[in-house]
Amino acid sequence: MSAVNITNVAILDNPAPFLCPFRFEISYECLVSLKDDLEWKLIYVGSAEDETYDQLLESVLVGPVNAGNFRFVLQADPPDPSKICEADIIGVTVLLLTCSYMGQEFIRVGYYVNNDYDDEQLREEPPQKVLIDRVQRNILADKPRVTKFPINFQPENGEHVDQPEHVEQPAESLDHATENNKQEQLPLPSVDNSSF
């Protein structure tokens, strides 16, 4: 059983222009007090074929980690379009929200992101060069894919432990999910599953 559980993720300002910052309101519960901070990361998958195009948008340490319920807003700059292949800017990609403790990732929440022009004529007849200031992103917030990893929250002598094999969990709605409030896990036909 995990010592930390995400209870809700609210994606603010969605949909939004591609160049606007991301804002996630994250609620989580800690069942026990922990010695170290939690590390939250937001990663943009720039290409389904090549993970070198992935961009770490933000990494923050949150602590102290006492038992109780907490909420904060994670804000991150948008991805740098110059580091994404032009052919991959428009279309569907993935955004990953992860949380780690002492270098051990224990939860990963993946969201589909659809990037398209904000104008129907541009969608029907896209220009040869992407007009990035006309691209709008839409995060499919109601269909997250959640993967949980069993980790050791109390490693002895402060030593880091190796990352164990992960355990796939059904996607949860994250709004105080219960056994009756589960969603099907989403396949990723056009996105590399290893990104998750």
CATH of the domain at 41: 2.60.40.1490
pLDDT value for 156:
64
pLDDT value for 172:
44
Residue whose token pair is 């804000």: 75
Give the model's confidence band at 1: pLDDT under 50 very low, under 70 low, under 90 confident, else very high. Answer: low
The predicted-structure confidence for 166-194, as pLDDT tens digits, reads as follows 444 444 444 433 233 333 333 333 333 33
**What CA–CA distances, in Å, run from 129 to 12, 68, 135?**
29, 50, 12
Question: How far is residue 110's CA from residue 50's CA, in Å, rounded to a whole number?
Answer: 17
Burial class (CB in 10 A: 0-12, 13-18, 19+), 144: buried
Calculate mean pLDDT across residues 85-95. 93
Calculate mean pLDDT across residues 152-157. 74
Checking if the pLDDT of 3 tops 70, the result is yes
What are the structure tokens assigned to 23, written together? 């804002």
Q: How many CA atoms lie within 13 A of 179 on its CB side?
A: 0
**What CA–CA distances, in Å, run from 8 to 14, 36, 88, 181?**
16, 22, 30, 13
Give the model's confidence band at 157: pLDDT under 50 very low, under 70 low, under 90 confident, else very high. Answer: very low
pLDDT value for 191:
39
- How many domains does one find in the chain? 1
The predicted-structure confidence for 17-35, as pLDDT tens digits, reads as follows 999 999 999 999 999 999 9
Rounded to two decimals, the pTM is 0.79
Closest C-alpha to 17, from 89, 107, 85:
89
Burial class (CB in 10 A: 0-12, 13-18, 19+), 137: buried
pLDDT value for 48:
83
* Percent of the chain scoring above 90 in pLDDT: 69
Checking if the pLDDT of 142 tops 50, the result is yes
| Domain of residue 24, residue span | 4-195
Q: Which of 113-127, 139-153, 156-170 has the lowest mean pLDDT?
A: 156-170
Calculate mean pLDDT across residues 103-113. 96
Per the model's pLDDT, the better-predicted residue between 88 and 174 turns out to be: 88
The predicted-structure confidence for 38-66, as pLDDT tens digits, reads as follows 999 999 999 888 888 999 999 999 988 99
pLDDT value for 176:
34
